Amino acid sequence: MSKHCNQLLCVCLALAFFFLSCESAGAAQVDIASMQNVTIDDSNISMVLYAPSTSWRASTVPCSACLNPPSSDASGGTWHDGTHIVKSSDSDDFGPNGGDTNGTSSAGTSSASSAGAIQSHSSSPASISTPPPASPPSSSTSSTAASPSPSKDGDDDDGDNGDDGDSGKQKGKGDKDKMRRDVRQNASEENSSNPFFTTGEDSDDPGFVDPAVTATINFTGTAIYLFAIIPNFAALPQTDPTAMNLTFTLDGKPHGQFRNNPTSLNSSSSDNFIPNFAVFSAEGLLDGEHSIVVTVGPDSVFLFDYALVTQNASSTDGSNAPQRTSSPDSSDP
């Protein structure tokens, strides 16, 4: 009798364990099914805070002297250009003949290493296709959209085939193409097209302040991915930088860097920019509110395209309405 009771008890325990396992698996499936990817586009200024405003330009604002990748390279056809230029030349650096007496910097390049690297969690959710490589791919995988080849003449190779001021065309206060640059006046023709020149204080003046250039995204979810357009050519002297030197802070703590410093001029215009490149990812976060801050290093640029956030479907409300969503089994990020 005792033997039969023990057998019955074992059967009951096995059945209980089975039903508990099924219940847990079902709950997990419900949790996975309730997750979705939310796209935060660069143009969603209610979700993305750009600072200072003078260092950022929306791609919808014309600027012939800025980096201008083809709109087809960007999600939704738009991006935000954050350029951190340390002003290193002003009127007191020039002698009576207009010559630079201090040998100030004139090239927009970064001292960061030439290799791009993403320092973050390595795995990706099922809702995202194969993650982009950590380093910029070869030209065979780059965008085929038309953009000019880098040259040392008038064209500044920013994707618009324009002279863009490199020929020495004088710019004044009314030049709307220079919205995010300081007003350039009372300078030689060469300095009027030099983004490192300012009519205010420069880096060798006692009162000079170099403000941090940042993009901040506050989000709710368990993962976030940042995508950018990568300049894939070296900057010419006295033009906007093409190097990328990004530092990431997640919830107030350092969370890696991304650096890329192209050193060669491309022979083909088709590989001047690399679109849809993941420069940052963080996964396995607690399901709650988070904040990611991207800091653009000196003499570098960030062409921000969009962010992808994995969150519970119930977290999405009208104020956080995504421009694109996908279910966890979708292959389109």
Q: Is the pLDDT of residue 73 over 70?
A: yes
Helix, strand, coil percent values for the chain (each to nearest 5): 20, 30, 55
- Greatest extent of the chain over all pairs of C-alpha atoms, in Å: 113
CA distance 225 to 128: 10
Burial level of 138, CB count in 10 A (0-12/13-18/19+)? exposed
141 secondary structure, DSSP code: G
β partners of residue 289 = 220
H-helix segments, the chain: 2-33, 189-192
**Residue 259 bridge partners (DSSP):** 245
8 A C-beta contact, residue 73 and residue 143: yes
Which tens digit of pLDDT belongs to each residue from 20-69? Answer: 555 544 444 435 558 899 999 999 999 999 999 989 999 999 998 899 99
What pLDDT, in 10s, does the model give residues 279-288?
Answer: 999 999 999 9
Residues in contact with 6: Cβ distance below 8 Å, sequence separation at least 6, in sequence order: none
Residue 232 has pLDDT above 90, yes or no: yes
